[in-house]
Amino acid sequence: MAVSIDGGRGDRRKSLNAELNLVPYIDLLTCMVAFLLATAVWTQLARLKVDQHGQGEQIEGAIDETLKVAVVVHDDGFNLIVGRDQKPLPLKAGELDYAALGGELAAVKASHPDLRDAQVISADGVVFDKIVRTMDATMTAGFSNLALLDAVP
């Protein structure tokens, strides 16, 4: 497939015929469309629905009667905070114990089946994979509304 441009003869001695090959351009566009279609699917699958709340958003004088569930992720393990109670979950064999966390969260969910909100709190130094696995364990236990917070040093 080519395009021919004719400059006309007129009184010029040299003809201005030129051929422009469009096949490489069409091949490039076809590859780009295929690539964009293939990657558009993966951007939807790899998304986590998480709310981000800042500290200090509560209005002064307002009393919040709901039970808060929070999981603090740090290098020494987890801290599970339910209301005013706090339970540390230390490392197991040098790794974070996601099974113990899931079990504790499932117990909290069994005792309070109407709870859907949970917070995952981590410091800047925690590896992203650990945060995602913590969020997965929290969602598996039945807490569908997650909020991701920064730990205050």
What local confidence, expressed as pLDDT, does residue 63 receive?
A: 43
Region 29-50: what's the mean pLDDT?
75
CA torsion through residues 78, 80, 85, 90, sign: negative
pLDDT tens per residue across span 89-138: 988 888 888 999 999 999 999 998 888 889 999 888 888 889 889 999 99
Instruction: Supply the DSSP string of 5-50, one letter for each residue.
Output: E----TT-SS---EEEE-HHHHHHHHHHHHHHHHHHHHHHHT---E
| CB hemisphere CA count around 67 (13 angstroms) | 16
- Give this prediction's pTM: 0.59
Kind of pairing between the strands at 69-74 and 77-82: antiparallel
103: number of Cβ within 10 Å: 14
**Is pLDDT above 70 for 43?**
no
46-85 pLDDT per residue, tens: 555 666 555 444 444 444 457 889 999 988 888 999 988 8
